């Protein structure tokens, strides 16, 4: 079956540091890949997405590139802020007859200190 594996947290960084969160996936076919962010007490917000190999999704300084050869979709940000403290989820959508069925990773908590 489909699965998503992401690095365990918490990841603790100082403000302005470089952030990488690793995400690898297993899926049949050509899934779409997503990063969602969850702030405390909130639901999930779509951060970025990529729908085919070599696509780069980007938003709010975050980037991720769909790498089919390594089945990866690592999230990066060059200079984090305290406001980036949240839990980040990597997810995939691989079912042709579904618009809303996502397979999520376990989530990675990021803590940014001033």
Partner 1 sequence: KAGVTQTPRYLIKTRGQQVTLSCSPISGHRSVSWYQQTPGQGLQFLFEYFSETQRNKGNFPGRFSGRQFSNSRSEMNVSTLELGDSALYLCASSTKRQGNTEAFFGQGTRLTVV
Residue ranges in contact with partner 1 by CB under 8 A: 32, 34, 36, 42-46, 49, 51, 89, 93, 95, 97-107
Which secondary-structure segment (H or E) carries 75?
A: strand 75-77
∠ at Cα 56 (7, 111), nearest 5°? 35
Encoding tokens for residue 99? 């618009």
Shortest distance (Å) from residue 17 CB to partner 1: 26
Q: Work out how close the CB of 16 gets to partner 1 at its nearest, in angstroms, rounded to a whole number.
A: 29
Gyration radius from the chain CA atoms: 14
Token code pair at residue 69: 């050869």
Cβ-based nearer residue to partner 1, 68 or 101: 101
Nearer to partner 1, 18 or 111 (CB): 111
Minimum distance, C-beta of residue 9 to partner 1, in the bound complex (Å): 13
């Amino acid at each position: 079956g489909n699965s998503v594996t992401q690095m365990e947290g918490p990841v603790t960084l100082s403000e302005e540091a470089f952030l990488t969160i690793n995400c690898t996936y297993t899926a049949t076919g050509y899934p779409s890949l997503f990063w969602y962010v969850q702030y405390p007490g909130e639901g999930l917000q779509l951060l970025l997405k990529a729908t085919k190999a070599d696509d780069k999704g980007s938003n709010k300084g975050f980037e991720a590139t769909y790498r089919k050869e390594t089945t990866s979709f690592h999230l990066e940000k060059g200079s984090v802020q305290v406001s980036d403290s949240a839990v980040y989820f990597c997810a995939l959508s691989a079912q042709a007859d579904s618009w809303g069925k996502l397979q999520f990773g376990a989530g990675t908590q990021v803590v940014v200190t001033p």
